[in-house]
Structure 1
């Protein structure tokens, strides 16, 4: 595992998952709420989702030494040095937890990496 630099791209799978959950909630709320309250829930849901997109997405996640990693963001182009607590593999995505709550946990979906990089990250998750 000489190459431990993971270039993350935008995940289509995460978007489809979020869209499916939002659609399921809207259909459920349509059955339970009056029409005006249902429309209000749709508007609030879309506004919350649009606000959530403004969070900078990490684009590069690189191993430095043991539990030390660098994390660079798309918008700010600044590189942060972070310490990993542990990685949890959920088959379709891997959650990266950081020590001392320096950053929010990072969710890496299977379609954000190439197949070889995904396998390398899964091996790292097993080691930690």
Structure 2
């Protein structure tokens, strides 16, 4: 179990699209002097240069990568995410295979339409 923990300055490999929208086999995340870097060293993007949506996507990937067999609650992930990223968010998190369970509160049909057999719609009326 200890060998699975991520220590400071270590890098992790996350399978999925690169934050800037390029597609590759994966991205490397490591701690740099200006924050987290995304990409190979020669092409790295410092986390302080990312947009709000890019930072949000990166945080979802990191929370998921650093946790195993955990319940993760995500409230309205669509707020800073472009429609294309809303489409790939949950499939990408599931592809990481951490065994985590996701509870997502969303108003985005781009997110909930992907999982019609798993959605529970709550409609509160009145006070």
In the superposition, the TM-score normalised over structure 1's length comes to 0.25
More strand by share: 1
More helix by share: 1
In the superposition, the TM-score normalised over structure 2's length comes to 0.25
Higher-Rg member (1/2): 1
Higher relative contact order (CA 8 A, sep 6+): 1
